Amino acid sequence: MVLPAWLITAIKQRAHERGQSITAYISALARADLEERAESTPSIMERLQQLDARLQRLERHLSLADDNGV
């Protein structure tokens, strides 16, 4: 991996401030980012449940529109 010198310096400084090695610091950042994305991305089951609920609402809306002669 190639990083600009200023970024390497900043990483070294932050890792030192936290009492971590550079590897531990970067690993912690990567894990946190990956976990955050995993938490913010709905699972397939959650997505299917959301779509099912939306479909049911649309069906009810269409049924009410038919009942009202729209």
- pLDDT tens-digit map of 22-32: 999 999 999 98
- In terms of C-beta density within 10 A (0-12 exposed, 13-18 middle, 19 or more buried), how is residue 41 classed? exposed
Domain borders along the chain are 5-67
What pLDDT shows up at residue 47?
83
CA 15, CA 9: separation in Å to the nearest integer?
10
DSSP 8-state code for residue 40: H
Question: pTM for the complete prediction?
Answer: 0.51
Neighbouring CB atoms inside 10 A of 51's CB total 10
DSSP 8-state code for residue 43: P
Name the more confident of 3 and 45. 3
